Amino acid sequence: QAGATTAYIAANFNNSGSPGTISNWMLTPEMSMSDGDTLSFWTRTVTGSTFPDRLQVRLSTAGSSTNVGVGANDVGDFTTLLLDINPSLLQGGYPDDWAQYTITLSGLPGGMADGRVAWRYFVTDAGPTGANSNYIGIDTVEYVAGMAEPCTALADIPWLSVSPSNGSNGGGTNTNVTATFDSTGLADGVYTGNLCITSNDPDAGPGNGTDLVIVPVTLTVRPPTAVVVTNLAAESADLPAGGTAAAVSAFLAALLTVVVVSYRQRRQRR
């Protein structure tokens, strides 16, 4: 691993009372994550350890949140378990020489999210007089942005529906496909994905064989826009000199009519 022999982070049985439950957390900075990204690290316990250790890797997609709960058995916002090393606390179940673990992210909301990854040293019946817990080290953590899959299964894009999603055409014919977006329940932000079109047509062309057609889709969710309507009758003090609310309203209605008629006439001349 990188660095000097002793250049790693470590924790041991003194992380708890005697006996007790160890729940010691190490968090990454907030990151923008996508499906296909990989996280790797190295870990070990002491050689020949007879006191079992355990390490979890957990994920939060709650942005900058550092909420890990209030008790030793809580996980707060880090509800997604990515990896659990020696969950049954077996002797010899934790590597006693440096071993590398690699995790590939998948199943993120909309394929991407902002959040943190956490390592949790989690051991029950631990401490100086407990039956479990000895010592663990973590070294050379690497996070690599992966190449996202070019095509996304429709089931992975809950905010998009396509109809029809399959079918057949006769020679020289075509079928219109309708894509419908639904932002219900989505937080503000930008959601992206890909739809891929394939065909079993033996003739070469877009969508046939390996000539895949990829249609990028993007949904931008914004807060609702507030619309303010002013009651002209209640704002008579702001009317032009010599004007009345009724007269101004009639003028606006006539102006709107002229604009609409003019627009329609221009359209007809094209």
Q: Which of 29-33, 189-193, 242-246 has the lowest mean pLDDT?
A: 242-246
Does residue 136 sit in the same domain as residue 17? yes
CA–CA dist 262, 163 (Å, integer): 38
Q: Give the DSSP H/E element, type plus range, for residue 24.
A: strand 20-27
Domain count, the chain: 3
- Is the same domain home to 66 and 110? yes
- Please report whether residue 64 resides in a domain: yes
| Same-domain check for residues 68 and 187 | no
Judge if the upstream peptide bond of residue 224 is cis by omega within 30 degrees of 0: no
pLDDT, position 257: 42
Is 149 within the bounds of a domain?
Answer: no
Distance of CA 243 to the CA centre of its chain: 57
Beta strands in 50-205 (DSSP E): 55-60, 80-85, 99-104, 112-126, 135-144, 160-163, 178-181, 189-197
If asked whether residues 196 and 99 sit together in one domain, one would say no
**Is the pLDDT assigned to residue 210 strictly greater than 60?**
no
The verdict on residue 172 lying in a domain is no
Same domain, 140 and 80: yes
In a shared domain, residues 53 and 124: yes
User: Taking 90 as the threshold, does the pLDDT of residue 146 lie above it?
Assistant: no
Q: Does the structure show a pLDDT above 70 at 265?
A: no
Residue 30, domain member (yes or no): yes
CATH number of the domain encompassing residue 100 = 2.60.120.200
Same domain? 248 vs 212: no
Same domain, 139 and 56: yes
**Host domain of residue 96:** 9-144
Give the model confidence (pLDDT) of 72-108 as tens digits. Answer: 999 999 999 999 999 999 999 999 999 999 999 988 8
Residue 16: is it exposed, middle or buried by C-beta count within 10 angstroms (0-12/13-18/19+)? buried
> Are residues 121 and 238 located together in one domain of the fold?
no
Q: State the Cα–Cα distance between residues 78 and 61, nearest whole angstrom.
A: 8
Together in a domain, 160 and 126: no
Residue 23 sits in the same domain as residue 103: yes
- The whole-number average pLDDT for the span 221-235 is 71
Give a yes or no: residue 226 inside a domain.
Answer: no
Quick check: is 14 in a domain? yes
Domain membership flag for residue 188: yes
φ, ψ (nearest 5 deg) of residue 76 = 60, -130
Average pLDDT over residues 18-43: 94
Please report the pLDDT score of residue 204 as a whole number: 58
Short-list 106, 123, 113, 138, CA closest to 41: 138
CB atoms within 10 A of CB 255: 10
Q: Which of 2-11, 14-23, 61-70 has the least mean pLDDT? A: 2-11
Q: Is residue 1 part of a domain?
A: no
At 213 the pLDDT is: 73
The beta-strand segments (E) located in 205-263 are 213-221
**Mean pLDDT score of the chain, rounded to an integer?**
82
Beta strands at 80-85 and 55-60: parallel, antiparallel or unpaired:
antiparallel
At residue 66, the pLDDT reads 97
Looking at the fold, whether 187 and 98 belong to one and the same domain comes out as: no
Q: pLDDT tens digit string along 147-174?
A: 655 665 556 788 888 888 888 887 778 8
